[in-house]
């Protein structure tokens, strides 16, 4: 009987402990000698190349800033497999099983949005790396980001097109990709506003993630004879699109967003992507903070090459999350961490001094790059305008 009573007491104790663990933000992460930060990225699937570039940045940031509150920061890396359903599942696992204090990621707006309700309902803050769609942070007090948002990026590329004298532009959008659809929408609205001509957008063509043959939509675009084509989307499909356009004799200026800045875009597109224009958040020539210098030195030693803006923004996302933990003075009260992240002001990051607005979004300067001699090369610079 004593043995049975002991088992009964242990069971009650375990139940009570479990109930306490589910009450309030202060119990979301277990107190220990390490502080766990979740890393939520596509490391396999269609977006794997972007995810890997961002993982580099997070790991470098962790190497250079390995501690907070006197404890080691342990990265818990999870692969969301470039899949929305998996993204929600992975975010839940990081929170419920791994007991992370905050989450960094994801590459891709669709993936971040899929996890949005998970972080919100569990009151664990997430800092997005390159998820630029406004809906990531809209009505979600627990999602923040290190990157500029689509309206600004779309507006900048519309201004770039207008300043370069383009009067007729075709748009090609990856309709299964929220990022692509968002950028296309904001570009279209701004370009029509700038030109004052509803007919300045001569065609809007759609394709699905994973498509390889763009002959049909490109044939229609060629018939419209546009001055430029705005085609934000995943790097692989975008490179194939440009390559096939050149093969069809389309010599219009191709323009895209920050997802193009991966080596795979150049590898797939080859000489045909020479001269494209894309918006991005970072370039060595414009790196001015001390944190940027440390980042560049570390990246050169580790990878012996030029870092992508994706890598820089992911590094910054880690800094924002860890700074939030530091300012909150706790790794277990995730509500306090959330509040501290929301109050981020003038934090020195790789891509510049960072202050988050009321939506959890930073206003970032935009770099325009091109591909020249097989490398991403600085072309122009657009300062962010205060809201």
Over range 305-325, report the average pLDDT.
95
Mean pLDDT of the 307-320 span: 96
Angstrom distance (rounded) from CA 88 to CA 117: 8
Residue 245: pLDDT above 80? yes
Strands, E assignment, 86-239 = 102-104, 126-128, 143-145, 169-174, 201-207, 228-230
Q: Taking all residues of the chain, what is their mean pLDDT, rounded to a whole number?
A: 90
Q: How far is CA 259 from the centre of its chain?
A: 9
Q: 51 falls in which pLDDT band (50, 70, 90)?
A: very high
Segment 248-257 mean pLDDT = 97
For 19-45, the pLDDT digits (tens) are 333 434 444 444 579 999 999 999 999
Query: Are residues 349 and 241 part of one domain?
Result: no
Mean pLDDT, to the nearest integer, of 233-243? 96
Parent domain of 159: 151-280+367-386
Q: How far apart are CA 250 and CA 244, in angstroms?
A: 9
In this structure, are 379 and 253 located in the same domain?
Answer: yes
Q: Please tell me the total count of domains within the chain.
A: 2
In terms of domains, do 142 and 199 share one? no
Q: 181 with 315: CB under 8 angstroms?
A: no
Q: What is the per-residue burial (b if ≥16 Cβ within 10 Å, else e) of 323-335?
A: bbbbbbebbbbbb
Query: Are residues 138 and 169 both part of a single domain?
Result: no
Host H or E run for residue 277: strand 277-280
Quick one: 94 and 133 in the same domain? yes
Among candidate residues 110, 137, 73, the one with its CA nearest the CA of residue 233: 110
Q: Are residues 350 and 373 in the same domain?
A: no
Residues 6 or more apart in contact with residue 281 via CB below 8 angstroms: 147, 148, 258, 309, 312, 313, 351, 364, 365, 366, 367
pTM score: 0.78
pLDDT level of residue 220 (50, 70, 90 thresholds): very high
Q: What is the DSSP letter of 138?
A: T
Residue 19 belongs to a domain: no
| Cα–Cα distances in angstroms (integers) from residue 107 to residues 5, 39, 86, 128, in the given order | 52, 11, 14, 7
- Reply yes or no on whether the pLDDT at 130 is more than 80: yes
State mean pLDDT over 238-250. 98
pLDDT tens, residue by residue, 144-202: 999 988 888 899 999 999 999 999 999 999 999 888 999 999 999 999 999 999 999 99
Phi, psi of 104 (to 5 degrees): -115, 125
Residues 220 and 202 in one domain: yes
Q: Rounded to whole angstroms, how far apart are CA atoms 276 and 303?
A: 25
Q: 157 and 217 share a domain?
A: yes
Q: Mind giving me the DSSP string for 351-365?
A: TEEE-B-TTS-B---
Residue 268 sits in a domain whose CATH number is 3.40.50.2300
**Distance between CA 215 and CA 218 in Å, rounded?**
5
Q: Are 101 and 29 in contact (CB under 8 A)?
A: yes
Residues 106 and 251 in one domain: no
Q: What percent of the chain has pLDDT over 70?
A: 91
Q: Does residue 143 sit in the same domain as residue 155? A: no
């Amino acid at each position: 009987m004593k043995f049975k009573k002991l088992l009964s007491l242990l069971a009650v104790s375990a139940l009570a402990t479990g109930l306490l663990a589910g009450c309030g933000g202060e119990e979301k992460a277990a107190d220990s000698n390490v502080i766990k930060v979740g890393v939520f990225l596509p490391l396999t699937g269609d977006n794997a190349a972007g995810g890997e570039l961002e993982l580099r940045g997070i790991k470098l940031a962790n190497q250079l800033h390995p501690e907070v509150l006197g404890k080691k920061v342990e990265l818990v890396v999870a692969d969301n497999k470039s899949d929305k359903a998996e993204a929600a599942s992975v975010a839940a696992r990081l929170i419920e099983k791994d007991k992370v204090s905050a989450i960094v990621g994801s590459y891709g707006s669709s993936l971040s949005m899929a996890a949005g309700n998970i972080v919100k309902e569990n009151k664990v803050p997430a800092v997005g790396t390159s998820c630029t769609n406004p809906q990531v942070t809209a009505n979600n007090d627990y999602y923040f980001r290190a990157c500029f948002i689509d309206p600004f990026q779309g507006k900048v590329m519309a201004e770039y097109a207008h300043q370069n004298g383009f009067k007729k532009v075709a748009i090609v959008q990856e309709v299964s990709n929220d990022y692509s659809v968002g950028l296309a929408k904001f570009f279209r609205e701004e370009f029509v506003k700038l030109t004052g001509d509803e007919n300045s957008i001569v065609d809007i063509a759609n394709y699905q993630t994973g498509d390889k043959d763009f002959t049909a939509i490109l044939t229609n675009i060629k018939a419209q004879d546009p001055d430029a084509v705005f085609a934000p989307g995943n790097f692989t499909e975008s490179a194939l699109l440009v390559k096939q356009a050149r093969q069809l004799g389309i010599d219009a200026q191709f323009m895209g967003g920050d997802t193009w800045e991966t080596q795979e875009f150049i590898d797939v597109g080859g000489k045909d992507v020479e001269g494209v224009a894309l918006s991005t958040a970072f370039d060595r020539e414009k790196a001015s903070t001390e944190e940027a210098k440390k980042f560049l030195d570390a990246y050169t030693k580790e990878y012996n090459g030029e870092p992508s803006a994706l890598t820089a923004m992911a590094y910054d996302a880690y800094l924002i999350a860890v700074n939030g933990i530091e300012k909150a003075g706790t790794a277990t009260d995730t509500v306090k961490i959330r509040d501290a992240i929301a109050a981020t002001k003038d934090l020195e990051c790789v891509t510049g001094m960072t202050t988050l607005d009321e939506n959890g979004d930073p206003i970032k300067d935009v770099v325009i790059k091109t591909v020249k001699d097989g490398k991403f090369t600085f072309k122009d610079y657009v300062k962010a305008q205060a809201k």
